[in-house]
Amino acid sequence: MMMRIDVVVRPEPGHISPTLHVMHALQRLGHHVRFVCLRPEAVQLTADAGLDPIEHFMPTQPAFDAPAPWRGGPLGAALARRTWSVAQDWGDLFAGAGAVLIDQTLPDIVLPALSRRLPVILLSTQLSYARRGTTPPLITLATDAAPAWASVRADVDRTERDLLALVESGQLPPVMHPQFWHRWAAELDLGAHLVDSCLAMLPGWHGLAELILVPEQLELPGYHRAAGLHYLPPPLERVEANQPVLQRRTPHLAFCAFGSQLQVYSDAQLHDRAQAVIDAVATLPDFSLALQAPEHLRGALRFDDRVEIRPSWPQRALLQESSLFFTHCGMNSTLEALRAAVPIVAQPLVRDQLGNAIRLEHHDLARCVREWTPASVATIARAALALPETRRRAAATYFPSRASYDAQLAALFPAL
């Protein structure tokens, strides 16, 4: 089934080069590949590579680079209008495409494509996606570039059951190698065949597909059980029974994670924000706090035995026990929180997180921090806890099926 595939990736040459190889392979399979250039410097790179460039420089994009934290009032309203404008632009751009291939889960790209009933394929080299697999509805396709693949590919009956059987029998291991992009010529050809096979498997389907490319040296315990086709994330990981989440449990648990882009903070800024959350939760008498923060900050923070600080937590498992979630509103964390029906305190850092926070607050699914003082954070936390119970119950059933996903998408994003 030949189609037009719109490709949206970051414009740095280090990111474009491997994607170009996949695109050339898709061209050889007969697809029309159109490369969406987000910045002017990408146009010539794409044209020189023999692909079809289209300019989409998104003049509204710099509006999202406002300093963190996002502050409300007129700025928030202006950013909300620009968010919808950008989303509508993307929807128009994708008209006529058969699929969209991206390298990051920016909601202003993904949601307009989904609203046009298009498959969206995420080409990811990040181990975090392989471990978490959280963006529903999800297809996870991962492969090893073993010599057996050529014959296996020819024999694959394109169904979920048979693909899972290949993975679980060891004929199609769930990791692609070797480690470095510049060595992946043959493997990227196979990646293009996976993209092509993914599209052929799913005529009339729309959703988000994830093609995971990770080094062979990195082990993914139990991940092979999750490889295959999924409309929902893999089963939630569980906290070990003999390892209590906190030393002292209270009726309710608050969880705070600042996300992976901590480089936008100085240590002093991160300390002040973490301390504000600690002090705010201390005013909630029935709450303990699980705080995700770098180990070197631990000694500088003031906290009691209701607080436990770790550099990493099993987020999806912890959200099943949490009554409140302080989050940067990255797409994965946002969807995990909605699926777990946890009230959200939004503390966005950068562009797409800001868009997520605006949408969540607009639909009464979160409240946003605008001033980083303990009193202000505590007020926002109480406001999040007071969100309508019906909204919380609706969030609990977010994405249980493709049909429900369609309905929720239409309800949450009517402008699309």
Q: pLDDT, tens digit, for every residue of 4-60?
A: 888 887 655 555 555 666 677 677 777 888 888 766 667 777 777 677 777 665 443
Mapped onto helix, strand or coil, the DSSP state of residue 409 is helix
Torsion angles phi and psi, residue 325, rounded to 5: -130, 115
Rounded Cα gap, residues 393 and 372, in angstroms: 29
Q: Is a pLDDT exceeding 50 seen at residue 399? A: no
Rounded Cα gap, residues 373 and 280, in angstroms: 8
Q: Is a pLDDT exceeding 90 seen at residue 92? A: no
Region 370-376 average pLDDT: 89
Kindly give the pairing relationship between strand 307-310 and strand 324-327: unpaired
| pLDDT tier at 368, thresholds 50, 70, 90 | confident
Angle among Cα 46, 184, 175 to the nearest 5 degrees reads: 125
* pLDDT at 135 (0 to 100): 31
Cβ contacts of residue 26 below 8 Å, gap of 6+?
A: 5, 33, 192, 195, 196
List the one residue out of 33, 28, 87, 38 whose CA is nearest residue 58.
38
Which of 69-73, 202-206, 307-311 has the highest average model confidence (pLDDT)?
A: 307-311
pLDDT exceeding 90 applies to what percent of the chain?
11
Beta strands in 168-294 (DSSP E): 207-212, 228-229, 252-257, 287-292
CA 395 to chain centre: 17
Torsion angles phi and psi, residue 4, rounded to 5: -90, 130
Angle among Cα 133, 134, 136 to the nearest 5 degrees reads: 110
Q: Is a pLDDT exceeding 80 seen at residue 326? A: yes
Q: Is a pLDDT exceeding 70 seen at residue 416? A: no
Let me know: does 264 contact 350? Beta carbons within 8 Å.
Answer: yes
Rounded Cα gap, residues 78 and 63, in angstroms: 9
Q: Which amino acid is at 359?
A: R
pLDDT mean across residues, the chain? 59
Structure tokens at 89: 């632009």
**Token pair 């609706």: residue:** 394
List the one residue out of 309, 318, 307, 372 whose CA is nearest residue 345.
372
Q: Is a pLDDT exceeding 50 seen at residue 72? A: no
Which of 71-85, 110-124, 289-303 has the highest average model confidence (pLDDT)?
A: 289-303
* pLDDT at 179 (0 to 100): 26
Region 105-114 average pLDDT: 60
List the one residue out of 143, 214, 372 whose CA is nearest residue 280.
372
Helix 351-362 to helix 107-115 angle, to the nearest 10 degrees?
60
Peptide bond into 178 cis (omega under 30): yes
User: What pLDDT digit, counting tens, does each position of 139-176 carry?
Assistant: 222 222 222 222 222 222 233 344 344 444 544 333 22
